[in-house]
Amino acid sequence: MPQAWGRYFSRHPETGWKRASAEVFTHEIPVRQPLLALQQAVPEAASQLQQLALQEEARQRDAVVLDFTVEEGTVRVLEVRGLERTPQAACKIAVALVQEGLLGREQALLRIDPQDLREMLLGSVDGSGELLCQGESMVGGVATGRIVTSLDSASQWREPVILLCDQLTYAQRDALDLVSGLIVRSGPALAARHYERPCIRLQECELSEGQPVTLDAGSGRVFAGELPLLAGELSGDARTLLEWADELRGLEIRANVASLEEARQAPYFGAQGVGLCRIESLFQAPHRLPLFQQVLRQICYEKRATSPEYEQITRELSEEIAGLLEATSGPFNLRLLDAPLSQMLGYWRASGELPEGYFAGELSAWLHELNPMQGLRCGRLSLLYPKLMEIQLRAAVRARAGRELRLQVMLPGVCDAQELRLFRQCLEQVAAEEDCQLPEIGSMLEIPRACLLADQLGEVADFLSFGTGDLTEATCGISRYDSPLSFLPGYLEASVFARDPFEAIDQDGVGALMRLACERVHAKCPSVEMGTCGAQAVDPQSLEFCIQLGLKYVSVPVHHLPVARLAAAQAELRPGSPRLRLPRLRRS
């Protein structure tokens, strides 16, 4: 009969430190005990386990768990397997194994799941509380708030709320902007991923309206009350791994930014420039929105050639863009207005903050577009109203004056080279009037026709950037905003799509257009820089595809930069091969 039995961990499962620990059971005390109990009861067995663990680590070149028994002071190993570990522990162990000579840097990088780095940044619950429910993690992250069950109740609270619903449908879409987290009872949670809200799926749990709770969505746990939350951060070992990844990676990783705060964060997370800054985020900032609304009416309805408000908004935009440029290390890509005019006007009218008389003339006509996403938006809006384009371009070139950096100005929604020629002519005229250097001129590739004619666009442009979100919508004929709440979950279940096409590039369809565009541009205009600023670029398989296409860069949201930096290095280290999946520690 064994004197003791249990599990021996060669490194700590939660921290990754090389400090042996164990779960030990004996006949005298048949409950879980620490390693100290074995060291006191059978010291020679504890010493044997230590030596066996070292041997197995050297053999497997990884942290291990030994299932063992002890009989008459002799250890018998029943099973050896990989250690389950947290993201922090995974990074600690990978770096340590390199330092100990058991792994090379390349092998260590391939041991890490890039999403582990994202999980580190999502934060954690500080301490512990009363566990109310244990569910299934759908989207990681932490959040606190009061339980609400509808959009109406969500809008009434003046503090953070957690939406509880049977499943995510159109009825909850407007509430997703108001809530800190989600609890669903059934169905997939694609919309939660698209909105990046912490989400847990619970089959059964008694929660009431207004009840304060805390979500630890990474582990699927719901706690009573609003517990303190710790901000996420990358560990020192994670940063070491990213430095190794940067040394090995050829693909540039740039950032999508919408504010000065994000522009300042981007270099901290390793961005090699800004690959997308949407100018509408500057136009529609709360403090500037009334001025923008006034300018838009003067341009579209009053048809003013000049106005004090034109100069005011140009000056304000220029100052804000200058601040963004100052915070950026590397190229800075400013995309001109893209939002559909009809959609903007509809939101403003529904808010009731503008008098009805505002919506007159052409502004009234544009309200009635039947298909705004295919209507007056993107480059068409700027070309139809040249004064609107002039304001944007003048602000950009003034902001760059006196600075030695790469300013790129990009026209969205282009489908023909003539659009780009008109854009270039306008920008050249503005730069000459301002006596400023001409920025680089580029186009989004987000319409199938633009991909088919990419070589013609390349003859006019300095750079081209795939907008894979809009390109997926146009190619597949589906909406990224509606489909996750309607038919897309069923299509995934029926294997119509192998993966969510807004999460990973559809390489057979969308990818075929991208490949054709790259081949034609590389052959005809090899000096034209090509990249992508679509959300799918965070996906490891999509990153590998971008590398295969010969793209110069990918641009991703700031908080996804570490994921993209590691995943791109892995794709270049082992193209076409799946990553090694290490066992993950799930807190119970």
CATH number, domain containing residue 384: 3.20.20.60
The answer, yes or no, to whether residue 494 has pLDDT greater than 50, is yes
Say yes or no: 513 and 408 in one domain. yes
Same domain, 419 and 551: yes
Provide the pLDDT for residue 251. 95
Confidence band for 80, pLDDT divided at 50, 70 and 90: very high
SS3 98: helix
Same domain, 131 and 74: no
pLDDT at 519 over 90: yes
pLDDT band at 39 (very low <50, low <70, confident <90, very high): confident
**Beta pairing class for 221-224 and 212-216:** antiparallel
* CATH for 55: 3.30.470.20
What is the number of structural domains in the chain?
3
Distance CA 520, CA 447 (A): 16
Q: Are residues 217 and 307 in the same domain?
A: no
Same domain, 277 and 161: no
H, E, C per residue of 285-315: CCCCHHHHHHHHHHHHCCCCCCCHHHHHHHH
One domain for residues 285 and 431:
yes
Give domain status of residue 13, yes or no.
Answer: yes
> What's the CA gap between 17 and 173, in Å, rounded?
44
SS3 category, 126: coil
- Distance from C-alpha of 453 to C-alpha of 461, rounded to nearest angstrom: 12
Q: Are 417 and 530 members of one domain?
A: yes
Confidence of residue 588 (pLDDT cuts 50, 70, 90): very low
Q: What is the mean pLDDT of the chain?
A: 89
Residues 436 and 542 placed together within one structural domain of the fold: yes
- For residue 366, being part of any structural domain is answered with no
Q: Work out the average pLDDT over 204-233.
A: 90
Contacts of 71 (CB under 8 A, 6+ apart): 1, 2, 3
69 and 162 part of one domain: no
Of 175, 203, 230, which closes a domain? 230
Q: What is the 3-state secondary structure (H, E, C) of 4-68?
A: EEEEEECCCCCCCCCCCEEEEEECCCCCCECHHHHHHHCHHHHHHHHHHHHHHHHHHCCCEEEEE
Q: Are 288 and 180 contained in the same domain?
A: no
Q: Which domain holds residue 46?
A: 4-85
Residues 6+ away with beta carbon under 8 Å from 449: 415, 416
Same structural domain, 207 and 277:
no
Question: 3-class SS at 460?
Answer: coil
Domain assignment present for residue 296? The answer is: yes
Residue after which a domain boundary falls, among 168, 203, 230: 230
Residue 501 counted as domain residue: yes
Distance of CA 480 to the CA centre of its chain: 15
Domain assignment of residue 105, yes or no? no
pLDDT at residue 587, rounded to an integer = 46
Of the candidates 335, 356, 554, 526, the one whose C-alpha atom is nearest the C-alpha of residue 441 is 335
The yes-or-no verdict on residue 232 having pLDDT over 90 is no
Tell me the pairing of strands 252-257 and 74-82. Answer: unpaired
Look at residue 279 and tell me if it is in a domain: yes
Whether 165 shows a pLDDT value over 90: the answer reads: no
CATH number, domain of 181, equals 3.50.30.10
- CB of 4 closer than 8 Å to CB of 78: no
* Residue at 195 is within a domain: yes
pTM, two decimal places: 0.88
| 96 falls within a domain | no
- Give the whole-angstrom CA distance, residue 60 versus residue 63: 8
Low-confidence winner among 21-25, 97-101, 504-508 (lowest mean pLDDT)? 21-25
- Model pLDDT for residues 427-460, shown as the tens digit of each residue: 999 999 999 999 999 999 999 999 999 999 999 9
Residue 162 shares a structural domain with residue 81:
no
pLDDT value of position 579: 44
Pick from 58, 85, 112: which residue ends a domain? Answer: 85
| Strand, helix or coil for residue 70 | strand
Range from 187-191, 307-311, 401-405 that averages highest in pLDDT: 307-311
Amino acid at 344: M
Mean pLDDT check: name the lowest of 85-99, 359-373, 385-399, 441-455. Answer: 359-373
Alpha helices (H) along 71-123: 87-99, 105-110, 114-121
**CA torsion 309→313→316→317, rounded to 10°?**
-170
Say how far apart CA 471 and CA 114 lie, in whole Å.
26
Calculate what percentage of the chain has a pLDDT beyond 90.
61
How many Cβ atoms sit within 10 Å of the Cβ of residue 361? 12
